[in-house]
Structure 1
Amino acid sequence: MIHYFQETTMAYRETEKMRQRKAEARKNIIECTWQCVEEGGFRSARITRIAGLAGVATGTIYRHFESREDLFAEIFRLATQREVDKVKEALSIKGTATERLENSLRKFAERALKGSIKAWALIAEPVDPKVEQERLIYRKAYASLMEQAIQDGISEGCIPEQNARLSSTCLVGAISESLVGPLSPAQTASLPTTHTDQKELIDSIINFCMRGLTGTRS
């Protein structure tokens, strides 16, 4: 009599505890990477340094992220979403559309000057194509929020009739580009350090933006 034995294998099942440990390890890597970016931009976020801060081997990082570019893209998404949320919050105050837009521009500039290295990394630092793609996505997100506010202003009568989408893109470009010089690590001397200097810079940016948007500025 011949007996046939069917070989069976038990499928690997990831336990909840293991999933939690992996999630915690990934979060730790992200936090350590962001620490590097806050201290010196993406250029200072070397994998060996991140691994050292996270207390893991460099190979562990690549088990969570396929490449350095993927890690940086994830960092950029998380960090920029926080900034987009702040702009949305600034646009939600009570007041006219122009008041809400001015508040959002002011908060954007104040946060950028307060965290200049972080802001430079998010706004203008040369980055890999995958991260640059994320930058374009979030510039559109900023513009989309402002476009709605401009449309509100047109309906209210406090903003003249115009192409709201194009105007919102111009606003995002104007405030971003106007901050590139002051934020640039190559021009640290141009970064305003006193409250008065910062207010003067921000007021100048806002006056330019709002004058272009409304045609007037009181």
Structure 2
Amino acid sequence: MAYRPTEKTRAHMTKQRIKLLDAAKSIVSQEGFNGLTIKKVANYSGLAVGSVYKHYQSKNHLLEQVYCELTEQDLLLDHGQIFTSNDPNEQLTTALEQLFSRALMSDKLSYALFAEPLSESIEQHRFRFKDQFKQVFIQIINQGIKQGRFLNQESHIVASAIMGTLNEATLIPLRWQHQQMPTFERIKLIQQCQQFCLRSITYSGDEASFFK
């Protein structure tokens, strides 16, 4: 007769899984994905290495789960708040503020989620994750062009440029090395990124002057 786990066993396994995932997220937040090992997760969680493999087939499987958990936990944009207004300028301002303030919330974690070199399978998750952001900006920019609020521009290229700005911005806090980036410096970084993107997209002057 095949073994059937009891309700108590299932609850225990769920508790273990949450404990392991929390330990893994703490490690990534402090050391990035390259600092994550099965042994380290076991030590952080107080569980045996064998317990980790009961829940995760491999280190890469664990990395994928951690990446998805971290990105879905705090970083997804709040569409309801962004599209409360029908004004593309206001939508863009809100979306950029959300993106940069959430994505740059911590030094090592920001770099790990957006820029750290990772395996191909996790890069696919990252691509889909970033694409969710880009689709929001493409929608806002296209609406702004249609309403005559923004100059004509290739929205998909501009959306990619926004993400490129974010990627580079995640490197700046790492320059503080062994100390956390001061709060006032982090706020300034977020504001500068937001203003740079806003000015680039909403510019309404003479484009010909750029090429003189």
Q: TM-score w.r.t. structure 1 length? A: 0.80
Is 1:27–2:15 an aligned residue pair?
no
1:114 to 102, 105, 113: 105
Which contiguous aligned blocks of 4+ residues in structure 1 show a shift greater than 6 angstroms? none
Q: CA deviation at 1:108?
A: 2.5
1:83-141 superposed Cα distances (whole Å, 9 cap, x missing partner): 44245465244362222222222233223443112111111122222222211121111
- Quote the Cα distance in structure 2 between the aligned partners of 1:124 and 1:115: 13
Compared with structure 1, are the counterparts of its residues 32 and 89 closer, same or farther at alpha carbon in structure 2 (3 Å cutoff)?
farther
- Comparing 163-172 with 198-207, which one deviates more in the overlay? 198-207
Compared with structure 1, are the counterparts of its residues 183 and 112 closer, same or farther at alpha carbon in structure 2 (3 Å cutoff)?
farther
Residues 100-179 of structure 1: pairs in structure 2 closer than 5 A = 100-177=91-168, 179=169
- Quote the Cα distance in structure 2 between the aligned partners of 1:27 and 1:92: 34
| Aligned position for 1:202 | 190
CA contact (8 A) 1:84 1:142 kept: no
CA contact (8 A) 2:141 2:155 kept: yes
| Aligned position for 1:18 | 9
CA contact (8 A) 2:107 2:181 kept: no
Is 1:183–2:173 an aligned residue pair?
yes
Length, aligned pairs only? 204
Bigger relative contact order, structure 1 or 2, given CA contacts below 8 A and separation 6+? 2
Q: CA deviation at 1:199?
A: 4.1
CA contact (8 A) 1:119 1:183 kept: no
Q: CA deviation at 1:193?
A: 1.9
- Quote the Cα distance in structure 1 between the aligned partners of 2:5 and 2:140: 47
Q: In structure 2, the residue corresponding to 1:11 is in which secondary structure?
A: coil
Q: CA deviation at 1:162?
A: 3.1
- Comparing 50-59 with 146-155, which one deviates more in the overlay? 146-155
- Quote the Cα distance in structure 2 between the aligned partners of 1:198 and 1:31: 25
Between the aligned residues of both structures, percent identity stands at 25
1:144-180 superposed Cα distances (whole Å, 9 cap, x missing partner): 1222222332333322333333322222222322x13
Compared with structure 1, are the counterparts of its residues 211 and 13 closer, same or farther at alpha carbon in structure 2 (3 Å cutoff)?
same
Is 1:193–2:169 an aligned residue pair?
no
Superposed CA RMSD: 2.6
Q: CA deviation at 1:31?
A: 0.8
Q: TM-score w.r.t. structure 2 length? A: 0.82
Q: In structure 1, the residue corresponding to 2:170 is in which secondary structure?
A: helix
| Aligned position for 2:69 | 78
Compared with structure 1, are the counterparts of its residues 59 and 164 closer, same or farther at alpha carbon in structure 2 (3 Å cutoff)?
same
Matched letter for residue 80 of structure 1: T
- Quote the Cα distance in structure 2 between the aligned partners of 1:164 and 1:194: 33
- Which one has a bigger Cα radius of gyration? 1
Give unpaired runs (5+ residues) of structure 2.
Answer: 206-212
